[in-house]
Amino acid sequence: MKLNYKVIAIGVVFIIGVVAAYQKGMIDSQTGNELGVVATAEANNHETEASDEWSPTKPYPKHNVYYPGTEELKPNEMRVIALGSGMPMPRRKQAAASFLIELGNGDKFIFDMGTGSMERLYAIGIPLDFINKVFLTHLHADHMGDLPGFYIYGPQNNRSVPLKVWGPGGGGTRPEWGTQAAMDHLQGMWTWMTGTLEGMIDTSSFKLEVTEFDWTKVNNVIYEHNGAVIKSIPAIHLEQSVSFILEWNGMTLAFSGDTLPNQWWIDNTKGIDFSIHECVFTPELGVEKWGFSAQEALNAVTTIHANPSYFGKVMAMTKPRHAVAYHFQNDYDTLPVVMNAVEELYDGPVDYAQDFMVWNITKEGVRTRMAVTNPDAYPTPPLKEKKIAEGGDRYQTPDSVLAGWPEEVQVVAEEIYSNFNKKHGTDYKFQLKK
C-alpha cells in the first residue's frame, strides 16, 4: 500500500511538472518569444499600468493586436503590413506576395501585389487615393496577379488619382517582357470595360503612370520624394527580377521579391533595420505538400528560390535588426520544419510572416502584432468630389440589346425612382437610354 502511495505521489508531481512546462511554453509562444517579438502593444493606445486595473466596462489593459484606422502613425515611425505572405496558390489564410509600407510622413507604398492580396488591402480600410504607388519586383502572377483588378476597380472603389506602377525592364531584356509592355496589355485587356463605363462614372483613375527602370543597375534610385528613397538591386530569379531597398528617416527596409542569395543583397543590407526576404519550403515539403518529384523540388528551392537554409545563411551574413521570412505556407506542421532549418544557421530576431501581421518600426525597436480586420469591408468614402469623366459621350447600350427589357419591369423601376425622389427631395427620371 505504501508503495502505491509513493507511486501516486510521484505521478502527481510528474503531472504538475508537465502542466507547468506546457503552460510556460504556451505563454512564451503567445508573447512571441519563439519569433523574436521585441515588444507588446496596447490596442487603440489604451495603456494600463497594472493588471489590477482590469474592468468589465473599460478597455482591457493588454491587447496585442492592431486595429486598422485607430492608431496615429508617429512622424518617426514606419508601419509594415503583410497583405500576402504565401505562395503562387492563394488560399483563405494566405494570399500571394504583397506588403504595404506606411511612413510617418504619410507616404504609403505597395511592394508587389500577388494574387489574393487586393482583398486584404481593402480589409485594412485605407482610402485608395492614399495607396496608388505599386512597386513590382518581377512579373510573376504571385507578385502582381491582383494588379489588374486593383487597377480596373479604382473608380468603383473611390480612387480619384492615377495608379502609379514601378517595375523592371530594359538591361538587354526583350522589350515585350518589360513592365511597360505588361501594363499596356493590362490596359488593353480592359478595353471593353473602360469603354462601356465612359461617361457613366468618374474614370480619372483609369490613368496609369508606368516607370520602367533598368533592372541590371545596382542601387538604382527609382523613387525619391518627401524624404523617402527607394532603390533597386538585381535579384537572381531567372532574369528581370529585382529587390527593393527603402531609406527614410535614418532607417532602412529591404524587400527581396523572389531571389537566390546574391552578393548585391548581402553587400547592401548588412545591419539594416528591417529585412523582408523570401523563404520557401524545404525540398521535403515540396515533395510532400506540392506533389513535386524529388528533382523538381530540389531545383525549385535551390536554383530559383531561397529555401529556409539559404534564408538563414543570408540573415547570418547580413545581421539585420529584425528579419521577416515569407513566401511559404505557414501551417502548424510546416512552420517547425522551416524554423528548424533557419535556426541551424541564424539565431537573430525573425518573424515568420502570416497575412495581416503588422510591424511598427522605429529607431528604438520593432513591435510585432496581428491586425484585426473587417471581413465585411465597403469602399472608403471618396476624398474628392466625383465627376463624370470629360472628353467623351456617355456609352449607350444598343437598341437591339434593350429590346429584351420587359415592359412589366418598367413600372418597378419608375417606382424605385419615385420613392428615392420623395425620400431625398430629388427629381431623377428613370431612362434606360440618356
pLDDT at 59: 78
- 139 in helix, strand or coil? coil
State how beta strands 108-111 and 274-278 pair: unpaired
Give Cβ neighbours of residue 165 (< 8 Å, ≥ 6 apart): 134, 135, 136, 147, 179, 183, 208, 209, 210, 211
- Domains in the chain (CATH in brackets) are 55-371 (3.60.15.10), 396-434 (no CATH)
Nearest alpha carbon to residue 120 among 329, 355, 313: 355
Q: Cα–Cα distance between 357 and 364 in angstroms, integer?
A: 20
Task: Write down the pLDDT at residue 391.
Answer: 54
Query: What was the pLDDT predicted at 313?
Result: 99
Distance CA 83, CA 100 (A): 7
Q: pLDDT tens digits, residue range 47-98?
A: 434 456 778 888 777 678 999 999 999 999 999 999 999 999 999 999 999 9
- Look up residue 332 and give its amino acid: Y
For residue range 161-195, list pLDDT tens digits in order.
Answer: 999 999 999 999 999 999 999 999 999 999 999 98
Residue type at position 326: Y
pLDDT at residue 353, as a whole number:
98
CA pair distance 397, 324, nearest whole angstrom: 51
Which residues in the chain come in under a pLDDT of 50? 1-3, 7-8, 12-16, 18-50
